Each structure stands twice: as C-alpha cells, then as structure tokens.
Amino acid sequence: MDAFLGIVIAAVLLFTVVTLLKAVRIVPQQRMDVVERLGKYKRTLSPGLNLLVPFVDAVRAKVDMREQVVSFPPQPVITSDNLVVSIDTVLYFRAIDPMLATYEISNFLQAIEQLTVTTLRNVIGSLDLERALTSRDQINKHLSSVL
C-alpha cells in the first residue's frame, strides 16, 4: 500500500512540475512569440515572463524582431536602352508585426525577395544605363517606399 501511495504522489508531483513548466514562458529580448489557443491565434507574447494556459496554449512561431541582412543572387535587369545589367542585391529588413508575418504569408523571405526583384526590374527598366549607374540613392528610396 505504501508503494502505491508513493507512486501516486510521484505521478502527481511530476504532473504538477510539467504543468508549471508549460505554463511559464520566458521570451528573450528582440523576439516575440505568436500563441495559438486550440489552433487559433490568441495573442503575441512580448519579451519577458509570460503565462500560458497549459496544454491549451501553444507557441506557433518565434519571430526575430531584429534587423536582418539577406543577400540575393545577381539578377539580370534590362534598362530602357535595351542593355542587360546584372544587379547584386543586399536587403536589410525587419518584421514589424509578428502576427502578420506568421499568418498572412507562407514564406516571408521568399516574398521579400520576389517583391525586391520585381521592383528593381521596374525601376531600372525605366532608366537608361548611365542614370541606372548614377541613381543609386533614388533606386534605394523607391525600394524602401515599396517594401
């Protein structure tokens, strides 16, 4: 009988420890966690100590809020005077809304790359070669406004 009581107490203690570990979430600075309750968006956890409902709430995504740097392969672009120019692209970006970055698009990085390439082709396609080579600031401003 004492062995059975010891097993029950150990099981209850183990369940309590697991429940407490699932209820407390510490989010590091410059990261936000997206929480789902039973598969539906519930809230976004900010950095610091957060409490969740154990076994009901789950962290769906951990979104890094720092600025990130991505280098894309060179892209061929045709200028207005029909010359092909290969453009190297380095993009600095950061997510502003973790919920939108998680749910509104399936591949955040691929979407940024495609939007950048499309905008670059549009901007440089309207310039001749000489203006494309000397208008770097103008191209950057246009890209920043679109992205």
Q: In the chain, how many domains are there? A: 2
User: For residues 63 and 136, which has the higher predicted lDDT (pLDDT)?
Assistant: 63
CA distance 71 to 113: 9
**What are residue 85's DSSP bridge partners?**
77
Residue 73 and residue 55 in one domain:
no
Q: Which domain holds residue 56?
A: 1-63
Residue 48 and residue 86 in one domain:
no
Residue 58 and residue 76 in one domain:
no
CA distance 146 to 139: 11
Task: Report the pLDDT value the prediction gives residue 89, as an integer from 0 to 100.
Answer: 84
Taking the model in full, what pTM does it have?
0.73
Residue 139 and residue 77 in one domain:
yes
CA distance 125 to 6: 77
Evaluate the CA torsion angle 125, 127, 128, 130 in order and state its sign. negative
Q: Which of 20, 39, 63 is the last residue of a domain?
A: 63
User: Each residue of 86-107: pLDDT tens digit?
Assistant: 888 888 888 899 999 899 988 8
Establish how many alpha carbons lie within 13 A of residue 82's alpha carbon, considering only the half-sphere containing its beta carbon: 0
Q: Which of 18, 38, 63 is the last residue of a domain?
A: 63
Q: Percent of the chain beyond pLDDT 90?
A: 41
